[in-house]
């Protein structure tokens, strides 16, 4: 019964959304916001760059991959245990996973059903509508129809790898984007309004041909240091200046007889200052693509000083105000929406959490591929309530994630990333995705997004062991310790060695079993006969392995080089202890499972 009710409700929601979207589209058309021509830049290959740069496919230093899915077992931020025990844990977590899967499947079945219902109950879906809840293909179909009917879209492909959400169509107000027309760029929703402002100025004062807007993104990136300081959304590395006229590809069907705009010139490429792009003077797109990783030092200029209070520069394209109060006073027609063909794929958040990129960018979903979306005009109250809640929790929530540092003039992540496995060399890392080297606030492990390309690229690649290849042998195990080993060992074997019981008590958040495990590990280590006499070398060796070694230590270690085998032995001991513990833990968990009703 519940499920049926849910179905009905969701079905209603879908229909509502659809209606609302259609209305919205009508509004947009009536207000003439969507121009007759929109230019879409689409790299077409979001992951192009990493593929082109072999050195970028790197592997984390942490060899222990067997624990990857069981981080919940970690007893302390500094100690992750690993061994066969996860096999058991697999069962536990897979139970949970299966539940999730079931739920998801159910949901998706519902989704499908709803789609069918929607299709059957609305036989004449307006071609101009972008309806949430409609399947991807359907959605694209509709969009294509859009293009055919009253607009010509061009996709610029292959120019550069760009993060997906930035492949947004530019909404340009103006009849046919000719120099004689006053052309207004309304942005793409994810774009810093200051950029559109700047560009509009340039267009309409410098008599620049609007088609030169095709390198718009690169220009914008050059202006902004490759990111959007307003919403924190990350803009990819820009095109190299004066290179690579992006290939213009018409998105419209072949029937379209409107020729694509000419290849762009780069009217403001001179604004690219510093950064690696200036050094990559290679004029060929291919070489620039293959040679320059996304996280090149962003070309930062001081043009971002105008980034505040410019949310409303574009008449109708009003960004929702932070406080819902003032929002109610001004009409929001149309409400800023995610441009078509882009957007999120949220399934569980209703697009009302920061998980949703649209929501996080203060945009309403539009043409997204989300399911159960409430981030739309029809639910505007809910949207604002959600925003208020989030702001209450964290007033900075919608602030830019990157800010320009006073001294260095470089943009840095305000909160910093916390990457553990990507070495900040994949787009999982927000810093890397923004093309910005990690900064002081980053608490990443094994960070290689330092801005020094040589280091970043010349990494000895250690391919990860595939699951079936992972052996629970000593060599396959590493302990992802995040602080100097000495600081962990010292309390146990150091001069002022604390009573073990006291140490365990410090792990207050752990349950007894976990505390016991730690106790066991530490006591085993402590009891090892060679530990006491070689503790210095042990610390040094462990620390070195983990990259914590100081210069002084390096010197010392060099002298004690011949003692290294002892340290190895120690590690072996440590690992053996782990094994013992985990097999015990495994039994413990087995018992728990068996006795679970």
Partner DNA sequence: GAGTTTGAAACT
Partner DNA sequence: CAGTTTCAAACTC
Site of interaction with DNA (CB under 7 A) = 46-47, 50, 57, 60, 68-69, 71-72, 74, 76-77, 96, 100, 163-165, 344-349, 351, 353-357, 360, 390, 393-394, 397, 401, 415, 417-422, 424, 426-430, 433, 466-467, 509
438 touches which of DNA, Zn ion, none (CB within 5 to 8 A by kind)? Zn ion
Q: Is the dihedral of CA 54, 59, 60, 61 positive or negative?
A: negative
Instruction: Report the residue number, 440 or 551, with the smaller CB distance to Zn ion.
Output: 440
Residue 373 near which of Zn ion, DNA, none (CB within 5-8 Å, type-dependent): Zn ion
The set of residues, in sequence order, having a beta carbon less than 8 Å from that of 552 and lying 6+ positions away, is none
For residues 337 and 363, the answer to whether their CB atoms sit within 8 Å is yes
Nearer Cβ to DNA (284/458): 458
Cis geometry, peptide bond prior to residue 334 (ω within 30 degrees of 0): yes
d(CA 356, CA 219): 27
Residue 417 makes contact with Zn ion by CB under 5 A: yes
Write down the least CB distance from residue 342 to DNA, Å: 10
Measure the CA dihedral 317/321/322/326, to 10°.
-170
Rg value, the chain, Cα: 28
Question: How near is the Cβ of 86 to DNA at its closest, in Å?
Answer: 12
Smallest distance, Å, CB 94 to Zn ion?
28
C-alpha 566/C-alpha 577 separation (Å) is: 16
Contact of residue 455 among Zn ion, DNA, none (CB under 5-8 Å per partner type): none
Q: Please report, for residues 84, 235, 299, the alpha-carbon distance to residue 226 in angstroms, rounded to integers and kept in the order given.
A: 45, 5, 7
Q: Is 168 in the site for Zn ion (CB under 5 A)?
A: no
Contact between 436 and Zn ion by CB under 5 A: the answer reads no
Give the one residue of 177, 351, 481, 488 binding Zn ion; rule: CB under 5 A: 351
- Total residues at the site for Zn ion (CB under 5 A)? 21
**CB 487, min distance to Zn ion, A:** 21
- For residue 375, the partner it binds in DNA, Zn ion, none, with Cβ less than 5 to 8 A by kind, is Zn ion
Give the H or E element holding residue 221.
helix 216-224
Site for Zn ion contains 58 (CB under 5 A): no
Query: CB–CB of 361/189 below 8 Å?
Result: yes
Report the residue number, 363 or 424, with the smaller CB distance to DNA.
424
- 245 contacts 211 by C-beta, under 8 angstroms: no
To DNA, the closest distance from the beta carbon of 318 in angstroms equals 22
**Considering only residues 40, 251, 370, 481, which one is a binding residue for Zn ion as defined by CB under 5 A?**
370
The least distance separating DNA from the CB of residue 482, rounded to whole angstroms, comes to 11
Residue 583: phi and psi, rounded to 5, are: -65, -35
Binding residue (CB under 5 A) for Zn ion from 67, 165, 195, 373: 373
Distance CA 477, CA 64 (A): 5
E-state strands within 143-246: 152-157, 169-173, 184-187
Measuring CA to CA, how many Å separate 34 from each of 87, 172, 187, 386?
A: 55, 7, 11, 28
User: Where along the sequence are the contacts to Zn ion (CB under 5 A)?
Assistant: 343-344, 346, 351, 356, 358, 365, 368, 370, 373, 375, 417, 419, 424, 429, 431, 438, 442, 444, 447, 449
């Amino acid at each position: 019964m519940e499920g049926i009710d849910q179905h009905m409700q969701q079905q209603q929601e879908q229909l509502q959304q659809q209606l609302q979207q259609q209305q919205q589209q009508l509004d947009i058309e009536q207000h003439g916001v969507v121009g007759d021509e929109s230019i879409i830049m689409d790299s077409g290959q979001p992951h192009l760059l990493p593929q082109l740069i072999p050195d970028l496919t790197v592997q984390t230093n942490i060899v222990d991959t067997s624990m990857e899915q069981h981080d919940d077992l970690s007893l302390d931020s500094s100690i992750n245990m690993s061994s066969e025990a996860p096999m058991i844990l697999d069962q536990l977590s897979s139970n949970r996973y299966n539940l999730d899967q079931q739920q998801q499947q159910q949901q998706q079945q519902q989704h499908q059903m709803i789609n069918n219902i929607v299709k059957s109950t609305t036989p004449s879906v307006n071609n101009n509508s972008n309806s949430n809840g409609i399947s991807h293909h359907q959605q694209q179909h509709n969009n294509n129809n859009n293009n055919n009917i009253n607009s010509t879209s061009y996709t610029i492909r292959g120019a550069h790898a760009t993060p997906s959400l930035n492949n947004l169509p530019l909404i340009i107000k103006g009849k046919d984007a000719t120099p004689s027309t006053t052309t207004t760029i309304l942005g793409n929703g994810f774009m810093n309004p200051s950029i559109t402002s700047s560009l509009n100025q340039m267009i309409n004062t410098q008599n620049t041909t609007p088609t030169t807007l095709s390198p718009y993104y690169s220009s914008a990136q050059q202006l902004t240091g490759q990111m959007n300081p307003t919403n924190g959304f990350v803009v990819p590395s820009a095109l190299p200046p004066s290179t690579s006229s992006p290939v213009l590809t018409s998105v419209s069907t072949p029937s379209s007889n409107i020729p694509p705009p000419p290849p762009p010139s780069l009217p403001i490429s001179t604004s690219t200052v510093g950064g690696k792009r200036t050094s990559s003077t290679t004029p060929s797109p291919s070489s620039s693509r293959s040679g320059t990783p996304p996280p090149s030092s962003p070309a930062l200029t001081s043009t971002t000083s105008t980034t505040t209070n410019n949310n409303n520069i574009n008449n109708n394209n009003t960004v929702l105000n932070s406080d819902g109060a003032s929002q109610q006073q001004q009409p929001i027609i149309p409400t800023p929406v995610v441009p078509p063909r882009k957007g999120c794929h949220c399934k569980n958040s209703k697009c009302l959490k920061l998980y949703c990129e649209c929501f996080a960018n203060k945009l309403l979903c539009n043409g997204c591929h989300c399911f159960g979306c409430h981030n739309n005009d029809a639910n505007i109250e809910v949207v604002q309530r959600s925003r208020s809640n989030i702001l209450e929790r964290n007033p900075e929530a919608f602030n830019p994630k990157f800010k320009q540092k006073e001294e260095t003039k470089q943009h840095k992540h305000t909160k910093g990333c916390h990457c553990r496995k990507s070495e900040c060399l994949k787009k999982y890392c927000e810093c890397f995705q923004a093309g910005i080297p990690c900064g002081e606030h980053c608490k990443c492990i094994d960070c290689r997004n330092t801005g020094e390309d040589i280091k970043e690229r010349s990494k000895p690649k250690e391919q990860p062991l595939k699951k079936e290849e992972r052996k629970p042998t000593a060599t396959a195990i590493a302990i992802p310790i995040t602080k100097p080993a000495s600081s962990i060992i010292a309390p146990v074997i150091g001069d002022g060695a604390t009573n073990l019981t006291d140490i365990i008590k410090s792990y207050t958040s752990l349950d007894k079993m976990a505390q016991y495990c730690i106790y066991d590990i530490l006591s085993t280590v402590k009891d090892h006969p060679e530990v006491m006499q070689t503790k210095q070398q042990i610390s040094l060796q462990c620390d070195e392995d983990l990259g914590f070694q100081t210069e002084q230590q390096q010197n010392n270690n060099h002298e004690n080089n011949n003692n290294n085998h002892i340290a190895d032995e120690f590690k072996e001991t440590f690992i053996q202890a782990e094994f013992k513990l985990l097999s015990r833990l495994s039994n413990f968990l087995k018992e728990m499972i068996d006795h679970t009703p």
